[in-house]
Amino acid sequence: MEFKFSIDGLEEAKKLVSPDLLKKILKRTINQTAQDAKAELKEEMKRVFDNPTPFTLNSVYTRLDPQELSVVIGLKDWGGKGTPASKYLAPQIFGGPREMKRSEKLLGNFYVPGTGAKLNQYGNLPPGLITQVISALGRFKEVGFLMNVTAGSRRQNRKPRNFFMVGKNNKGLHAGVWERMANNRVRPMLIFVDQPTYKERFDFFGVVKKIVTQRLTPNFEEALRRARTIQI
């Protein structure tokens, strides 16, 4: 989505400073306004999401085009071996179903935490647990990952955990991944669910439009004042 805004006082400023200086002022103005929007998007995430991770909070990026005097404000579409924020936040912005995470593709199902899984401080499944589950079930396609998990278990002298998968047509245990304990009891680690669908709740574009409307002209006035002070 593209927004275009006008700056109050721009025509008057053209009479006060040189074209080259005006271009520098406009670059500073646009960049500062983009940073203001980025900061407000971070605050909006804190308001609408329950204890978002640092990865999510730091997922907004800005990219200034100094020649076109424009800026892109977006969500990072890179995430290492994890799911990029641009993908997992899209349903929160536009609504609708979400795509499968990488681990869900390996397991062949969407899932939510089971009651037997210990969540991290952000209320999410620890990546290490997911790695153990997928490795134990032999679902890794990358040999390197499997070797790393096995070697890590040996270094820590830990006995591999006994995970097993239950299909959706089973009449006993709920479909998902379970762990068999030493006392022969079982506990649910991952519960398979239908594709989750979300309502719009992260007003990304609304926040950007609001901040640009509020801050563009004040930022321009401040950048112009500073430039003229230096010149004087």
In a domain, 164, yes or no: yes
Indicate the pLDDT class of residue 229, thresholds 50, 70 and 90: confident
Gap between the terminal Cα atoms of the chain: 40
In a domain, 1, yes or no: no
Residues 191 and 203 in one domain: no
Q: Global pTM?
A: 0.81
Structure tokens at 125: 């499944």
In a domain, 119, yes or no: yes
Average per-residue pLDDT for the chain? 88
Residues 186 and 202 in one domain: no
| Tens-digit pLDDT profile for residues 157-167 | 466 789 999 98
Residues 191 and 106 in one domain: yes
Residues 191 and 207 in one domain: no
Residues 160 and 140 in one domain: yes
The answer to whether the CB of 160 falls within 8 A of the CB of 154 is: no
In a domain, 17, yes or no: yes
Residues 159 and 177 in one domain: yes
Residues 83 and 109 in one domain: no
In a domain, 213, yes or no: yes
In a domain, 4, yes or no: no
The answer to whether residue 80 scores a pLDDT higher than 50 is yes
Residues 90 and 203 in one domain: yes
- Which amino acid belongs to residue 232? I
* Domains of the chain: total: 2
| Tens-digit pLDDT profile for residues 88-147 | 999 999 999 999 988 999 999 999 999 999 999 999 999 899 999 999 998 876 444 444
Residues 113 and 167 in one domain: yes
> 168: domain range?
100-195
The alpha-helical segments, DSSP class H, found in the chain are 10-14, 19-48, 54-57, 85-88, 90-94, 102-107, 127-136, 143-155, 204-231
In a domain, 2, yes or no: no
Residues 187 and 219 in one domain: no
